[in-house]
Amino acid sequence: TKEGEFIKEVSDALEMVKKELGLIVSMEVGKVISEGQGEIQEMIDIGHYATGLSRQLFGLTMASERPFHRMYEQWLPIGPIGVISAFNFPSAVWSWNSFIAAVCGDSTIWKPSSKAALTAIAVTKIVSSVMEKESTPPIFSTICGGGSEIGELMSRDTSIPV
């Protein structure tokens, strides 16, 4: 799908700057370098998984009591999806949710920890450059700052179903 191909492009862009992003994670949240780079590798891996998943979003087709009719399952987007991530996993948690949401046709609003805003800004910049290059609608948004206040507002907002 076009959504899956977009996520593949995002994964490729992250792969190109894995070392640098991993260092940002390490410096910002205090992870050792290998864990910082592991955090970015996790994003890349879930991107590959989501790309594969985009080719497998099947629905069931069932017989109907009505002659010449069939019933089928259809997966529809429910977004936007809200993601609130903690400082100890500054980017992986976002990718676990956002990449799967994207291949299902949903947008994502990300509220990273205020203690890991630099990582979120760097990731958002990379993803935004891919969205611009691919002429993809802005399906990923990031809200930095505000501490728990913004996260609390997001969790209560009925227009953000998940």
**What are the boundaries of each domain within the chain?**
2-156
Q: What is the pLDDT of residue 148?
A: 84
- Helix, strand or coil for residue 148? helix
Verify cis geometry, omega within 30 degrees of 0, for the bond prior to 80. Answer: yes
Q: What is the pLDDT of residue 56?
A: 81
pTM of the predicted protein model = 0.87
Of the candidates 131, 153, 139, 37, the residue with the CA atom closest to the CA atom of residue 90: 37
Q: Which CATH superfamily is domain 2-156 in?
A: Aldehyde Dehydrogenase; Chain A, domain 1 (3.40.605.10)
Verify cis geometry, omega within 30 degrees of 0, for the bond prior to 138. Answer: no
Q: What is the pLDDT of residues 101-121, one digit of tens each?
A: 999 999 999 999 999 999 999
Q: Region 67-75: what's the mean pLDDT?
A: 83
